[in-house]
Structure 1
Amino acid sequence: MPVDDIPALREALRPAVATSRPFTIEAAGAGAFPNPRRPRVLWLGVAGDVRRLGALQRSVEQASAAQGYPPEERAFHPHLTLARVRPEDLGSLRDVERRLAEIGALPPLPIPVDRVTLFRSELRRTGAVYTVVDEFPLGGAG
């Protein structure tokens, strides 16, 4: 995203996010995309008020689309990314399936959702570096 686009995106996101009230989701279950035998992404599943999370996602996507950013074509599958796996790291990931099952057996962890954070993602050889650009509180939060 060009730096010059950030002010307009901020102005579009603020009212889109303000219409949502804070809610709680839960981290529950764990897995890997595309599968545990050849993982590219390790993730925690999301449970709880996923209907409201989906509504918030649609609101953010619509506000972004109004600024010229195309909507995501893939279906929304809420999850929390734990790690991205590089092909050269696959050999060191022994027992991934067993460990994901152990994580998935843990009790659900409540996660309050009270803001949307806009990050800058800078890809480096050592991995991505994320920097907070702005935060948008949900209506009634903070």
Structure 2
Amino acid sequence: MALAIPKAIAQELFLLQAGIPGARWQTREQLHLTLRFIGEVDGRQANDIDDALAAISAPRFTLALKGVGEFGGKKPHAVWAGVSDGQAVSHLNRKIEAALQRIGVAADERRFTPHVTLARLRAAPVGKVMDWLADHAFYAGPPFAVEQFALYSSVLSP
């Protein structure tokens, strides 16, 4: 489940995508804010998930992207843009998590960190990643309205 990123903001993020050798940058169309990753599911389970998600209601809210970060610590494997105030999106994540657990989907044990993945990294020079993070630390995007979320399908390449 994810929030789509408006085209104008996706274009802004696209302009940040340079400066890390070996990074696999996301295309504008791939940019989204993941609310919950599920993994592989069969057709019946996908229908159950779709039904559970359709029953979720949450108030509309405004979201703005702010700052950048990485996952992986000393060996970063992804760089991302964060959010300025994650309270509303975290509330939506909790509602999604509860709905999924009610239909038997295992709980996500990872702490929810609202973000938009900008690139996946493999063997990227750590110094270049740190330089990129410092160069874009003060990124701040304009606010946008969040009115719905969608089920996304991801295909990760090796």
Give me the TM-score of the superposition, normalised by structure 1. Answer: 0.72
Contact between 1:27 and 1:111, CA under 8 Å: does it hold in 2?
no
CA RMSD of aligned residues (A): 1.9
1:74 aligns with 2:114: no
Residue 61 of structure 1: aligned partner: 97
The 1-side partners of 2:106 and 2:146 are apart by: 25
Q: What stretches of structure 2 of length at least 5 have no aligned partner? A: 1-40
Q: Secondary structure at the match of 2:59?
A: coil
Change (3 A) 1:109 1:98: farther
Q: Secondary structure at the match of 1:120?
A: coil
Look up the equivalent residue of 1:111 and give its one-letter code: F
The structure 2 residue matched to 1:26, chosen from 60, 64, 78, is 64
The structure 2 residue matched to 1:117, chosen from 150, 153, 156, is 150
Q: Decide which structure has the larger Cα Rg and report it.
A: 1
Identity %: 29
Residue 131 of structure 2: aligned partner: 98
> What displacement does 1:94 show?
5.6
Query: Would you tell me which structure has more strand in proportion to its own residues?
Result: 1
Residue 75 of structure 2: aligned partner: 38
1:85 aligns with 2:121: yes
> What displacement does 1:99 show?
2.0
The 2-side partners of 1:56 and 1:24 are apart by: 13
Q: Secondary structure at the match of 1:68?
A: coil
Q: What stretches of structure 1 of length at least 5 have no aligned partner? A: 126-142
Structure of greater relative contact order (alpha carbons < 8 Å, 6+ residues apart): 2
Look up the equivalent residue of 2:67 and give its one-letter code: G
The 2-side partners of 1:30 and 1:124 are apart by: 23
The 2-side partners of 1:6 and 1:100 are apart by: 37
